[in-house]
Amino acid sequence: MRAGAIAFAIRASLNVVLATLRFGKVPREMRFALIRRAIFGKDSYRFAAMLGSFVTLYKAILNALPILLPVQPATPLPSPFDDFEDESKSATPLEIPASERQPRLSLSAQAHQLWVRKKTRRWHAVVAGAIAGSVAVMFEKRSRRVTIAQQLFVRGLQGSYTAFTSKRGIHLPNGDVLVFCLCCAQISYALFSRPETLPRSYTTWLVTASGAPVPAVEMVRDINRTGTFNVGDLDKILQREDVIPVNRAAILARKALATSTPPDFGSPYPPCGAVHPWVESCMAVPLPRLWVVFKWAFPIYGALHFIPMMLFKRSAFLSNPLRMLARAGLGTIRSSAFLATFIAAFQSWFCFKHHMYAILLSQKKLKIPQVLFKLLGSKYSYALGGFFGALSLFVEEKRRRGELAMYVLPKSLESAWLTARGKGWVFRTGDFGEMFLTAIGMGMVMSIYQNEPQHLSGLVRRILYQFIGPN
């Protein structure tokens, strides 16, 4: 009941905030109904049922398994109520490594912790988390189950990977940046070759952020999939008012080839004049694009930095408003610069690889490996552009890099899975794919939380502590 009530309050509060942002678009007499629906709508009850049922099932199964399947320890458990035989020989806090120090607990808390640590097995948390998670997620709408399952799965992967590397002393420098680069490589490939494997809203946002004409993006997709393109896309670009004469002539020449008999669609990429019809030189594109994307992204990231600060860090903001505003402002600048750098870098790669393809193709003296031609003109070259562009994550604040990597990871995994499924490499999951994915994710998350919670991200630990309680 407590978990359900907290979940209901969180979801209703979020709905109210979103509803108030729509006040300017709805008549005054409908605002009360909008607020009432935001608080008592189905979304609030679904969210409460999901988290309430998860906590209930998890606690019931976790506490029942040691009773149904008791495990006798090899040696008697030390009682927290017994005194040490020789207190004079006990190590002082300074003699104990920081990683092994334990907090001072009451006798009852010590007894509870001994029972949890010694008698609970890791597989208990795995089974309890998997069963509770798979049942609980079914309370949500089908459209939201995929997102929830994906986020839980990647959080479980993150915790499992951190626990594995910590035990074995493995350290991968800038691992979050590497994950982000690999994810962006898959997303860039999917955007220009398999857009149906990405959410429609996500592809729309990416194309808008790129600043390229939509018909030019459609041309790239058609060329990558069929080797041809729709001449109507060239006509749409020619109708733009910002097309300069030089680019218009290049586009018309490409159109003449495509409409000849037999049709000749030319190089395996659209003319650069169709991608940036307002300027002739490719060298003049990155810097203006950097500034345009920065201005476009600034209000978006401003809301992401300032609104959570006002809602969740109110006491810190009221105690030192100038410092908090300065931090939020700097964070907005860095986040906007990160996205702008990514777009400008990808645009540079787009034009660079096409120029290199044309130069190498015209080269007669040197013997160029055919694999290099195929790479520069293939659909996989866009994945390389996404990988190189994602290095712009170094512009972002270090503590946000991991969260951004966890944001794009589920989208790239879903895209890779759907691409592999389209080629017949993997099986179909049917109507229960979200349930199975949630079960795997929550099994990993609860196993780590119950035994090694320090390996989970701070955000996940705080959420689980509020609903589950101490591990």
Q: What are the pLDDT digits (tens) for 338-352?
A: 999 999 999 999 999
- pLDDT for 91 equals 44
Q: How confident is the model at residue 85 (pLDDT cuts 50, 70, 90)?
A: very low
- pLDDT for 93 equals 37
Average pLDDT, the chain: 84
DSSP state of 281: -
Q: How confident is the model at residue 82 (pLDDT cuts 50, 70, 90)?
A: very low
- pLDDT for 431 equals 73
Q: Which residue has the higher pLDDT, 128 or 365?
A: 128
Measure the CA–CA gap between 175 and 157, rounded to whole angstroms: 13
- pLDDT for 72 equals 62
Say whether pLDDT at 360 is over 70: yes
pTM above 0.85, yes or no: no
User: Quick one: which of 443, 439, 450 has its CA closest to 134?
Assistant: 439
Burial class for 39, CB neighbours closer than 10 Å (0-12, 13-18, 19+) = middle
Looking at the structure, tell me whether residues 267 and 283 fall in a common domain: no
- pLDDT for 415 equals 92
Say whether pLDDT at 106 is over 70: no
Interval 425-440 mean pLDDT:
83
- pLDDT for 426 equals 78
pLDDT tens-digit map of 16-50: 887 887 777 778 888 888 888 889 999 999 999 99
Looking at the structure, tell me whether residues 256 and 359 fall in a common domain: no
Taking the mean position of all CA atoms in its chain, how far away is CA 190? 16
Interval 148-164 mean pLDDT:
89
Question: What is the dihedral angle through the alpha carbons of 358, 361, 363, 368, rounded to the nearest 10 degrees?
Answer: 120
34 in a domain, yes or no?
yes
53 in a domain, yes or no?
yes
451 in a domain, yes or no?
yes
**63 lies in which domain range?**
1-69+116-171+429-468
Range of lowest pLDDT (24-38, 73-87, 371-385, 444-458): 73-87
Q: How confident is the model at residue 143 (pLDDT cuts 50, 70, 90)?
A: confident
The residues, any chain, with a CB within 8 Å of residue 110's CB and separated by 6 or more, are 80
Say whether pLDDT at 141 is over 60: yes
- pLDDT for 89 equals 43
Tokens of 202: 């996500």
100 in a domain, yes or no?
no
Looking at the structure, tell me whether residues 208 and 305 fall in a common domain: yes
Say whether pLDDT at 103 is over 50: no
396 in a domain, yes or no?
yes
User: Quick one: which of 269, 217, 249 has its CA closest to 378?
Assistant: 269
- pLDDT for 312 equals 66
Looking at the structure, tell me whether residues 141 and 252 fall in a common domain: no
Amino acid in position 234: L
User: Quick one: which of 190, 178, 201 has its CA closest to 382?
Assistant: 190
Looking at the structure, tell me whether residues 419 and 437 fall in a common domain: no
Looking at the structure, tell me whether residues 146 and 194 fall in a common domain: no
- pLDDT for 94 equals 37
Interval 149-161 mean pLDDT:
90
Percent of the chain with pLDDT strictly greater than 70: 89
77 in a domain, yes or no?
no
Looking at the structure, tell me whether residues 334 and 245 fall in a common domain: no
Looking at the structure, tell me whether residues 300 and 390 fall in a common domain: yes
Looking at the structure, tell me whether residues 150 and 268 fall in a common domain: no
pLDDT tens-digit map of 309-339: 776 677 888 888 899 999 999 999 999 999 9
pLDDT tens-digit map of 384-393: 999 999 999 9
Number of domains in the chain: 3
Looking at the structure, tell me whether residues 121 and 155 fall in a common domain: yes
Phi, psi of 95 (to 5 degrees): -85, -10
Q: How confident is the model at residue 201 (pLDDT cuts 50, 70, 90)?
A: confident
Taking only Cα atoms into account, the Rg of the chain, rounded to an integer number of angstroms, comes to: 28
Looking at the structure, tell me whether residues 160 and 233 fall in a common domain: no
Measure the CA–CA gap between 99 and 236, rounded to whole angstroms: 64
Looking at the structure, tell me whether residues 266 and 251 fall in a common domain: yes
Interval 246-250 mean pLDDT:
93
85 in a domain, yes or no?
no
Measure the CA–CA gap between 269 and 24, rounded to whole angstroms: 45
Q: How confident is the model at residue 234 (pLDDT cuts 50, 70, 90)?
A: very high
Amino acid in position 222: D
217 in a domain, yes or no?
no
